[in-house]
Amino acid sequence: MISCFLSKITLGTSSNYGNNIGFSVTSSSSTAGKSPIMATPAGLKEYSVADLKKATKNFRADTLIGEGGFGMVYKGWVDEETLAPSSKWGIGMPVAIKKLKPEGFQGFDEWQSEVNFLGRHYHPNLIELIGYCWEAIRWSSCYNNPLSWDIRLQIAIGAARALAFLHNLEKEVIHRDLKTSNILLDENYNVKLSDFGLAMRGPFDEEAHVTTRVMGTYGYVAPEYSDVFGFGVVLLELLTGLRSFDANRSHGQQNLVDWLKPKLSVKKKLRTIMDVRLEDQYSARAAFQVAKLALKCLEPNPENQPSMKEVVEVLKEIEAMEEETINSKV
């Protein structure tokens, strides 16, 4: 049995440097033996797999917009008023549909946790859940073009704002699986943070993190499930255009953080690791400030990491610095 849920977005994109960025509908499998009885927030629409097939052209390969550790994300369309699958693909409101891989680690509990969380919390930079479903579907893979430097900065700020919001709720929420494939975009490249299957409320003591289960995504997650650390990895990906982990890279270079972290504090070395596809879109000064911020986020000790509120403030200063540099050239 499969459990699916849809969330609201508008047009987005997916990059080929690990930013599986796109739209907002997700699906995941239930654990064997679990009863399909859910206590979901009021107002969510229940869909059938037939609905989702109609919305995605039968989950055709060209509707796939991203792939994360838990599953595949497809682009679909629904009627803006009724939220029913659109009678014609490309007409209505674009949404994203996520389905858990059969071999994935996320079970019914995590899936229900995400549905409940997204159904009860709203923020402009969090994905907006509109519904869910249960049934089996198939998938494939694809990706689109890389993003420009100014859009990457915009994405970083949006994701940081989303995390700052979560961390500053009355009962702090730790996302615990921050990565580029969980950062979705609308048509204006506004961030919609998704995938709350591993989210936990804090504050936590040491025992709260003890678990025998595999959590998070290798290459992003720190031992204490620090969202700030994961954000540092995202910043490093935005700078370099490389995936956080790639088994096809040479020995010693497979883990992006281990390989390139030492270069982030040296200006001359930073230019050698910047994404070549950015060409001269960015100022060296702004890029170095982002690199220094990434380095702070990647501190092994959480006590030495900045808060996400502080990260937002620094990124906004960098964005203003970049705009000032661009204006001075005009």
35 and 113 in contact (C-beta within 8 Å)?
Answer: no
Residues 6 or more apart in contact with residue 68 via CB below 8 angstroms:
20, 98, 179, 181, 182, 195, 217
Torsion on CA atoms 5, 77, 87, 122, rounded to nearest 10: 60
CA distance 232 to 82: 40
CA distances from 228 to 21, 32, 236 (A): 20, 34, 12
Which residues, listed in sequence order, are joined to residue 75 by a DSSP beta bridge?
A: 96
| Selected catalytic residue, list 177, 186, 227, 275 | 177
* Termini Cα distance of the chain: 58
Task: Confirm or deny that 98 is annotated as ligand binding.
Answer: yes
| Packed helices 227-240 and 284-297: angle between N→C axes, nearest 10 degrees | 150
Place of tokens 């239930």: 30
The residues, any chain, with a CB within 8 Å of residue 157's CB and separated by 6 or more, are 191, 312, 315, 316, 319
Check: CB of residue 286 under 8 Å from CB of residue 265. no
Which whole-number Å values give the CA distances from 275 to 179, 243, 278, in the listed order? Answer: 18, 11, 6
205 is catalytic: no
For 86, which DSSP code?
Answer: P
DSSP 126: B
Distance CA 240, CA 53 (A): 36
* 15 within 8 A of 242, measured Cβ to Cβ: no
Catalytic residues: 177
Binding residues: 98
Binding residues for ATP: 98
